[in-house]
Chain A
Amino acid sequence: MRTIHTKDIVDAVAGMCVKANTELPDDVRAAFEKAMAEETSPAAKEVLRQLLENADISADTKLPLCQDCGLAVYFVEVGDEVQIEGGNLRDAINEGTRKGYGEGFLRKSACDPFSRQNTGDGTPAIIHFDFVPGDKLKIVYMAKGGGSENMSRVTMLAPAQGWEGIKQFVINRVAEAGPNPCPPTIIGIGIGGTFDHAAKIAKKSLMRRLDDTHPDPDIAAKEAELKEAINKLGIGPMGLGGKTTVLDVKMTVEPCHLASLPLAVNVQCHSQRHEEVEL
């Protein structure tokens, strides 16, 4: 067994929160630059120019890229030869979140659903655990903003609706969301599992780098097909019209019940703040 102390986890998590919220990841910057080169409309170009300038100011001043520093979402892979010392892993991740959101002057956006009272420290984080072979602990973080999350949906299609039904639903969702989720967005799609699992794998899809390609060529082709169709909607950066409505579409497909075709569409704004650490 390999021992990892919670103190190291707290510090690593806090560091990720601050870094992700103040340094635009290189894959996202590259996607902005590519979109900037492809767009011809002055309004679309101006939005992208502002987003690139925003990233420079943020890196310079350490102001967050966006005031909505999100709910903190983590996907954690715990190696089965890892032993946590000094406390509980969930507590340590929440403590790291508290530290990062406090020391980084990040906005705390967690509140009670009824009273709307802010919890005051950015916790509780949303944490998904998985157990894997090995002696490492991998933590992937994303700052999930509320505006784009509000545009997300889960639906239970009939198996007969198939790929055509999936395409219709996803494209319609992006069309109806229009300018609201801060396009150009990234669309995370979960197909399969159960009602809850589809949503989880849709979110997990958003953790992939924008410049990766799905290892399954059939799914990679479906992602490309959706991306091309959605970009024909012409919604464009911030809804002002243009060729770039989505930066990318990322899909995860898993087996489901004979009776079901679960589909989750998780919308992510252009400020795709993600970071990962391996301890």
Chain B
Amino acid sequence: MAEYKLTTPLTDEDVVQLKAGDVVFLTGKIYSARDAAHKKLVDLLDAGKDLPFDLEGASIYYVGPSPAPPGRPIGAAGPTTSYRMDSYAPRLHSLGLKATIGKGKRNEETRKAMQDHKAVYFGATGGAGALLSNSIKKSEVIAFDELGPEAIREMTVEDFPLLVINDAHGNELYAVPDRKAAGIE
């Protein structure tokens, strides 16, 4: 298991060196988007309009932060469950999206799209919202303000602690449940 410090936007070279299980500390700009924002992004694409941020080399963080208290750039900001964005991810990967950040399993289409388009899926620790908030230095709503916690934010992160869950070579880190040991097979 290697450890990397990477800076966004990510390149093909950044991504292909990564293997499931590697630790990555990510620095630079990332974009928050979850269920409702993804639907709006895809609506924009369907209408032939520009997206609120450049997808080329981009990293999307599946997060709906809690409100920023006075004196802080953002509230708690841990990952949400990623499978809900699987119906949108392959299309975004085909348009240059290099990384997604979330928690939980991805479906087969998304895993294949990561291989086809040299992209990676990072896991952040779910339920560590206060801890992860400390790595987010700046946050600004850049689209869909009406969505509240689900608005798209440009976040500036420093050494954001991540784990490679799915790499661009078809490998996955998650443990396969041992049903036999648990007595159900």
Contact = CB atoms under 8 A, between A and B. Distances in A.
A219 interface: no
Interface of B: 21, 35-36, 63-69, 72, 75-78, 80-81, 83, 103-105, 123, 125-131, 133-134, 147-150, 161, 163, 173-175, 177-179, 181-184
A120 B183 contact: no
Contact of B64 (A67, A106, A180, A271): A67
13 contacts: A50-B161, A51-B125, A54-B129, A61-B130, A64-B129, A105-B66, A106-B67, A107-B76, A178-B105, A178-B174, A179-B103, A180-B105, A182-B127
A239 B184 contact: no
Contacts of A53: 128, 131
A180 B83 contact: yes
A57 B136 CA distance: 14
Interface residues of A, number: 54
Given A51-B125, A180-B104, A234-B175, A108 B149 contact: yes
Residue of B65, B66, B150, B181 ringed by the most chain A CB atoms within 10 A: B66
A58 B133 CA distance: 10
Interface SS majority for chain A: loop
Interface of A: 43, 47, 50-51, 53-54, 57-58, 61-69, 105-109, 116, 118, 120, 146-147, 150, 167-168, 171-172, 174-175, 178-182, 229-230, 232-236, 238-242, 269-271
A230 B182 contact: yes
Residue of B72, B78, B182 ringed by the most chain A CB atoms within 10 A: B182
A66 B130 CA distance: 7
Contacts, number: 168
Interface SS majority for chain B: loop
Given A53-B128, A65-B127, A171-B182, 19 more contacts: A51-B127, A57-B131, A57-B134, A64-B76, A65-B76, A65-B130, A66-B78, A68-B129, A105-B66, A107-B65, A107-B66, A147-B81, A179-B105, A232-B182, A232-B183, A236-B175, A238-B126, A240-B174, A269-B126
B178 A234 contact: yes
Given A107-B65, A118-B148, A182-B126, A235 B175 contact: yes
B103 A233 contact: no
Contacts of A229: 182-184
A52 to B, nearest CB: 10
A253 B111 CA distance: 41
